[in-house]
């Protein structure tokens, strides 16, 4: 049974990695204002998910609650693919929130790596939201000189 759990975790980790690459690409393609808004949306989604009995199942329809993992990442990923900017932002926020909770306390190394990747992106979004976007630091240095 232990081997089966490890195989399932490895498969899930790979699936999340493929999705993460696309999500990260879409985040970096966003203008600064949209990234700041995405940070707020993601924070709100994480907060709403944490109030659920099972945060990793946030966004999952009630009839699908007994699957190995929730449908929140799949729903968020599908929405992130949208051509509509608002739908895409909300999809990315949902994906990040569900992935954060799903990978949070995992004992599996591959899944822990996904959690660290999500934390890194959340940190970048927080920095953009706070106005400390590293790509904009050069402007501040020139203003001081």
Mean pLDDT confidence for 104-130? 90
Mean pLDDT confidence for 85-114? 92
Q: Where are the alpha helices (DSSP H) in 29-108?
A: 32-50, 72-80, 85-103
Quick: pLDDT tens for 51-89. Answer: 987 877 787 777 777 776 788 899 999 999 999 999 999
Quick: pLDDT tens for 11-56. Answer: 989 999 999 999 999 999 999 899 999 999 999 999 998 898 787 7
Question: Residue 62, CB half-sphere, CA atoms under 13 Å: how many?
Answer: 0
pTM of the model: 0.83
- C-alpha angle with apex 67: 61 to 73, nearest 5 degrees? 60
Domain extents for the chain?
2-144
- The residue with tokens 């999705």 is 19
Distance in angstroms (rounded) separating the CA atoms of residues 114 and 80: 18
Q: Do 38 and 93 contact (CB within 8 A), yes or no?
A: yes
């Amino acid at each position: 049974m232990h081997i089966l759990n490890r195989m399932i975790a490895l498969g899930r980790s790979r699936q999340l990695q493929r999705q993460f690459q696309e999500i990260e690409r879409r985040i970096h393609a966003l203008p600064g204002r949209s990234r700041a808004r995405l940070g707020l949306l993601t924070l709100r989604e994480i907060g709403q998910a944490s109030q659920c009995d099972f945060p990793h199942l946030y966004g999952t329809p009630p009839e699908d609650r007994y699957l190995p993992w929730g449908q929140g990442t799949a729903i968020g990923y599908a929405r992130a693919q949208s051509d509509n900017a608002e739908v895409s932002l909300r999809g990315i926020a949902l994906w990040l929130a569900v992935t954060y909770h799903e990978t949070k306390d995992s004992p599996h190394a591959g899944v822990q790596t996904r959690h660290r990747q999500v934390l890194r992106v959340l940190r970048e979004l927080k920095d953009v939201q706070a106005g400390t976007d590293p790509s904009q630091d050069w402007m501040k240095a020139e203003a001081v000189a």
